[in-house]
Amino acid sequence: MSSASATKQFFFVYAPDLPGAAQRRFAFAGAHQAKNAPLLESGFIRVGGGLLKPDVTADTPNVMGNIVGSFLLIQAENIDVVKKTLQDDIYYTSGEVWDVDKLVILPALVGTPVP
């Protein structure tokens, strides 16, 4: 592990969607993915994806229409960096996807290897 990554902490992010946001999520998906590509490449975002309704599995037809939020495992210097980065995401800034009033960011103690 490099000394730069040794000073970074992990943070778990839960970003629930607003009611009925599934179709709006698709409208912003390209911009969301483009913005996050360098964050994935740099290791800032370690893992992330969509959260599904409890009765849905990854092989359910139209699974993308059953996303109810996002989860992320982020490695950053501090929680303020995480907040600022999330506040720049189109799912946040559009006001049409994430329910920003219910966004949760927690420091995380990771007990397994992280990709």
Residue 12 lies in a domain: no
User: Residue 3: its pLDDT value, please?
Assistant: 46
From the list 95, 89, 111, 94, the residue with the least C-alpha distance to 45 is 89
Per-residue pLDDT of the chain (115 residues; tens, 9 = 90+): 444 455 899 999 999 999 999 889 999 999 999 999 999 999 999 999 999 999 999 999 999 999 999 999 999 999 999 999 999 999 999 999 999 999 999 999 999 999 8
Which residues form the domain of 88? 17-58+75-115
Farthest CA pair distance, the chain: 45
Residue 114, domain member (yes or no)? yes
Give a yes or no: residue 107 inside a domain: yes
What is the value of pTM for the model shown? 0.90
Give the Cα separation of 10 and 3 in Å (integer).
Answer: 15
53 close to 42: Cβ distance less than 8 angstroms: no
Name the domain count of the chain: 1
Find where tokens 């927690």 sit: 106
Please report whether residue 96 resides in a domain: yes
